[in-house]
């Protein structure tokens, strides 16, 4: 039997498809390919998936000869029920446009449009059969300019190449941004509860706020910050962060800092400090483009880890923040995949027409 050998790119694509698959049959096929590639015996893999070795061999032959797309193609689609193929396509088109907030709305639409009645369970089964799922919408800043974002990413790639050239000045790059956790208000977690149960979590008045101005280096995952409980982030505090970077790496010949459009980056005190330290260079991230600021992902991790529980006092909240930001090596595995300079920039065809017209 021929072995299954996957390169890094193939494995990543199979794992991605497996995560996103809502069909157990496709999930089983993808898992089988991964397990065989890992060196497991085919008899063991067939038993895990619940199929015969012959069926497993057929799957592997399809993958080897026809590729991943063919492996994920199911020739048996199931009975669409009371709808014709054309009606199913109309329903899928309507779903893809985000018209329905509940299965009950789909029930009504099917009855009004096609005079076809489904029970509550029946319409949910129908949706699963045609490949629909219920999940949260993805928000985006419609004022962000994809062309400017792509130009920024191009600039980042150029900085990466220049820093690696022979004879280039010793360079460090940082993504800089502010974060403002509010005690008693930032609660980011969900949990299982008993049917009919209410679980109460106390919140504060939102008057106690922790101001964080952080800098994250994508090349070695170094993180430095300034945390303030009384003062706001301003030009003077940004200069303090610059001093912190300079003191931490006095041998560095060139600092590149990617910053957003906050006004304190252009204050006179900042301009004066930069004039005295020409090794520091500020590169502005396009407006409405948090997707291009890598440190935004770190703030997301911070909220997920530090605000998944209620903090009784403001000091307790600060301790929770420190528990994450002062011990980032504990999250190294997560950071290695999260904090990569792979930026998701929307393509024009992905943006709904109404937003294109407004922009």
Q: pLDDT digit string (tens) for 271-309? A: 999 999 999 999 999 999 999 999 999 999 999 899 888
Residue tagged 């069909």 (tokens) = 23
Question: Could you tell me what percent of the chain has a pLDDT over 90?
Answer: 61
Give the model's confidence band at 196: pLDDT under 50 very low, under 70 low, under 90 confident, else very high: confident
Q: Is the pLDDT of residue 320 over 80?
A: yes
The pLDDT of residue 107: 92
Question: Do residues 221 and 335 make contact, with C-beta atoms less than 8 angstroms apart?
Answer: yes
Tokens read off for 355: 């937003």
Calculated CA dihedral for residues 104, 106, 108, 111, nearest 10 degrees: -140
Q: Are 172 and 249 in contact (CB under 8 A)?
A: yes
> Each residue of 32-69: b (16+ CB within 10 Å) or e?
bbbbbbeeeebeebbeebebeeeebeebbebbeeeebe
The pLDDT of residue 350 is above 90: no
pLDDT above 50 (res 46): yes
Position 78 confidence tier, pLDDT thresholds 50, 70, 90: very low
Q: Is the model's pLDDT at 349 over the cut of 80?
A: no
pLDDT at 191 over 50: yes
Q: Is the pTM of this model over 0.85?
A: no
Q: Is the pLDDT of residue 57 over 80?
A: yes
Q: What is the pLDDT of residue 194?
A: 74
Q: Is the pLDDT of residue 201 over 80?
A: no
Mean pLDDT of 84-98: 90
CA–CA separation, 114 vs 236, rounded Å?
Answer: 66
More confident residue, 77 or 132: 132
Highest mean pLDDT among 110-119, 120-129, 151-160, 199-208: 151-160
Mean confidence (pLDDT) of the chain: 88
CA distance 317 to 227: 13
């Amino acid at each position: 039997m021929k072995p299954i050998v996957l390169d890094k790119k193939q494995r990543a694509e199979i794992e991605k498809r497996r995560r996103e698959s809502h069909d157990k049959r496709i999930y089983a096929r993808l898992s089988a390919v991964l397990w065989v590639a890992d060196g497991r015996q085919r008899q063991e893999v067939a038993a895990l998936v619940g199929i015969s070795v012959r069926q497993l061999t057929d799957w592997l032959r399809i993958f080897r000869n026809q590729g991943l797309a063919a492996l994920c193609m199911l020739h048996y689609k199931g009975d669409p029920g009371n709808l014709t193929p054309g009606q199913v396509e109309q329903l899928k088109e309507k779903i893809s446009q985000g018209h329905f907030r509940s299965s009950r709305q789909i029930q009504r639409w099917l009855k009004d449009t096609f005079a076809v009645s489904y029970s509550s369970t029946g319409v949910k089964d129908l949706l699963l059969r045609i490949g629909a799922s219920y999940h949260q919408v993805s928000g985006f800043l419609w004022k962000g300019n994809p062309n400017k974002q792509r130009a920024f990413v191009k600039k980042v790639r150029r900085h990466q190449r220049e820093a690696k050239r022979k004879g280039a000045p010793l360079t460090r790059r940082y993504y800089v941004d502010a974060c403002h956790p509010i005690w008693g208000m930032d609660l980011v977690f969900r949990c299982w509860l008993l049917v009919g149960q209410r679980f109460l979590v106390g919140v504060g008045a939102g008057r106690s706020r922790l101001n964080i101005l952080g800098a994250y280096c994508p090349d070695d995952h170094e993180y430095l910050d300034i945390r303030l409980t009384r003062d706001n982030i301003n030009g003077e505090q940004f200069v303090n962060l610059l001093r912190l970077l300079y003191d931490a790496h006095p041998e560095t010949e060139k600092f590149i800092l990617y910053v957003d459009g906050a006004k304190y980056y252009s204050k006179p005190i900042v301009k004066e400090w930069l004039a005295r330290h020409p090794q520091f260079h500020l590169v502005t991230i396009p407006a409405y483009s948090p997707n291009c600021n890598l440190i935004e992902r770190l703030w997301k991790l911070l909220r997920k880890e530090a605000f998944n529980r209620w903090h009784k006092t403001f000091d307790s909240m600060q301790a929770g923040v420190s528990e994450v930001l002062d011990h980032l090596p504990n999250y190294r595995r997560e950071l290695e995949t999260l904090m990569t300079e792979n930026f998701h920039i929307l393509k024009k065809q992905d943006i709904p027409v109404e937003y294109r017209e407004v922009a």
